[in-house]
Chain A
Amino acid sequence: GQNIDQPTEMTATEGAIVQINCTYQTSGFNGLFWYQQHAGEAPTFLSYNVLDGLEEKGRFSSFLSRSKGYSYLLLKELQMKDSASYLCAAGTGGGYNKLIFGAGTRLAVHP
């Protein structure tokens, strides 16, 4: 079956670094996406990985290990505005960009 696991909640301090882990078991896997979703708002795209390794985009980095079915999102220099849910999503279904989403990790950043 299709399964995405990520922690339900995390807390961190402003200015710190936090790593949000995601494990997946999906058929037809073709990539791993990370989205940010503030409460009551739409998900917004952060990053994706197709190949193993680290992708860096400013304060956000994402890592993928296809052999281990594992990814993480790294957030550096945390700001209060980073308090949000972070959704891990596995790409599947060939070329049609279909995504299987995890339940999301709710991150609270404290002063």
Chain B
Amino acid sequence: NAGVTQTPKFRILKIGQSMTLQCTQDMNHNYMYWYRQDPGMGLKLIYYSVGAGITDKGEVPNGYNVSRSTTEDFPLRLELAAPSQTSVYFCASSRANRGGGLQPQHFGDGTRLSIL
């Protein structure tokens, strides 16, 4: 039962460097999400996707980019790392809603990113 898998688990970047956080899910979920969680704060939605080729901005998209070329993968790209992007990043996925019911999101274990 892999579920949602995120890599890497930890990373230290220098200011101005770029990197891609990987996320893959094996549950055939249509919807995928990226969140960041700062200490003592709730999760903030960065970007989300409702299917391959479709992405949209969440609450805090600035400084990030995403793509969704397959149902399984939803990578998050940081182009010019800044200290304000030091955070824990969580990827999540869910089924599409059907018949008025809601579907819970399933989370990966997170990537702990420090920008120095």
Do A and B actually bind?
A: yes
> Interface on A for B, CB 8 Å cutoff?
4, 30-31, 33, 41-45, 48, 50, 87, 89, 91, 95-104
Question: B116: which A residues are within 8 A, CB to CB?
Answer: none
Question: A104: which B residues are within 8 A, CB to CB?
Answer: 42
Residue B2 at the chain A interface, CB threshold 8 Å: no
> Interface on B for A, CB 8 Å cutoff?
31, 33, 35, 40-45, 48, 50, 58-59, 90, 94, 96-97, 100-110
Distance A98 CA – B44 CA, assembled complex (angstroms): 11
Q: Please judge, given known A-B contacts A97-B105, A99-B105, whether A43 and B43 are in contact too, CB under 8 Å.
A: yes
Q: Please judge, given known A-B contacts A45-B104, A99-B105, whether A4 and B42 are in contact too, CB under 8 Å.
A: yes
Question: A87: which B residues are within 8 A, CB to CB?
Answer: 42-43
> Does A103 contact B94, Cβ atoms closer than 8 Å?
no
A41 nearest CB neighbor, chain B only: B109
Distance A31 CA – B105 CA, assembled complex (angstroms): 13
Distance A95 CA – B95 CA, assembled complex (angstroms): 11
> Does B90 contact A103, Cβ atoms closer than 8 Å?
no
Question: B58: which A residues are within 8 A, CB to CB?
Answer: 98
> Does A97 contact B102, Cβ atoms closer than 8 Å?
yes
CB of A6 to closest CB in B, whole Å = 9
> Does A42 contact B42, Cβ atoms closer than 8 Å?
no
